[in-house]
Amino acid sequence: MTTTQQPSRTRSLGASLLDQVLAETVDPAYAQAAAARAARPAPTRGARSRGQALVAVTMVLAGLLAALTYGQASAGTEGRQEIRAALIADIDRESGVTDDLVASLAQVQGEVGAARDQALSASTGGQLALDQLARQEAGAATEPVHGPGLTVTLGNALPSADDDPVATAAPSDGEVAQVLDRDLQLLVNALWSAGAEAISVDGQRLGPTTTIRQAGGAILVDLRPVSSPYEVLAVGDPTALQNGFLAAPEATYLAQLSRTYDWVFEFNRSDDLELPGASSPELRSARPLTPDTGAPSGPPGTAPAGDDGD
């Protein structure tokens, strides 16, 4: 029986590569690295001890560096707090001097007013002038008032005992998280719209020329600084004030800010509120109540016709 030998077929390049991959499961470079590592002598106990000591020293140095950094930050915060306390003491001292001067001014103004009333009440024309003056003073809010009304308190968020003095030293949104002058303006405008007859902010009566503005980190009312929490007193019908204030969009906006930044925002009705008078406006011009018929009719300070001023 004759057998016919089949001609051999050449293997393809893909098959050869597949055989090589299956035969060499580990990359030659990895195999060489493993062999070199195995050829190195095993570390002695002393070398292991030195490595562990180096790691321990590194951890200790890192801990000391972190403690030193935190200590410096805390010392800086304490220094800022001491400077702030000193500045607050200076402000309180100067505010006390200002309060004494304001009290002295009010006393002198009272004495002048009493002398004026006594002089004008002696005549019928003077009585008419006093009546007109009383109406003008009521419009200028220079007279103290008292009566029922609404008390509204608006203030910054109260600090927590768990706050970190270093982490909370300079909040990124400190300007936004604090009550600003425009917030007090919105509150005051809402109370005026609700029917308030007289309003004061932290004891400062609001008059026609009173301003509420920001000066650095402080809020000034009638050029005098006020501090949080700000107590706003409004004299008027308590029921109408409360209903009108709660219905105002300004109150809704302030309530949203209070929930967002944890502000103090409270209001309650009061049976009797006492508001001081606003500062008197500066007297710029005056004219006599009953002009003298023989006096010149021209503007004040001008000489009569034909008078050479000698």
Percent of the chain whose pLDDT exceeds 70: 73
Mean pLDDT of the chain: 78
Cβ(255)–Cβ(249) below 8 Å? no
Cβ(152)–Cβ(234) below 8 Å? yes
CA–CA distance, 143 with 120 (Å, rounded to integer): 19
- Domain at 144-157+174-279, CATH homologous superfamily: Protein of unknown function DUF881 (3.30.70.1880)
198-201 and 264-275: which strand pairing? unpaired
Q: What is the dihedral of CA 39, 40, 46, 49, to 10 degrees?
A: -100
**Other C-beta atoms within 10 Å of 150: how many?**
27
Q: CA Rg, the chain, in Å?
A: 42
Q: 186-245: per-residue pLDDT in tens?
A: 999 999 999 999 999 999 999 888 999 998 888 999 888 898 999 999 999 999 999 999
Q: What is the pLDDT of residue 225?
A: 87
Q: Which residue has the higher pLDDT, 3 or 153?
A: 153
Cβ(195)–Cβ(215) below 8 Å? no
Q: What is the pTM of this model?
A: 0.57
Q: 158-185: per-residue pLDDT in tens?
A: 876 555 444 444 444 445 589 999 999 9
Closest by alpha carbon to 159, among 176, 172, 178, 180? Answer: 178
Please give the helix or strand (H or E) that residue 200 lies within, else none: strand 198-201
Helical axes 181-193 vs 238-247, angle rounded to 10°:
120
Q: Domains of the chain: which residue ranges?
A: 144-157+174-279
CB proximity list for 196: less than 8 A, separation 6 or greater = 149, 150, 234, 235, 236, 241
Q: How much is the average pLDDT of 49-69?
A: 81
Structure tokens at 150: 């609404």
Q: What is the pLDDT of residue 167?
A: 46
In the predicted model, is pLDDT for residue 15 greater than 70?
A: no
Q: 264-283: per-residue pLDDT in tens?
A: 999 999 999 999 888 776 77
Reading phi first (left if > 0) and then psi (alpha if -120 to 50, else beta), residue 232 is in: beta
Cβ(169)–Cβ(77) below 8 Å? yes
228 DSSP assignment:
S
Structure tokens at 229: 């929490």
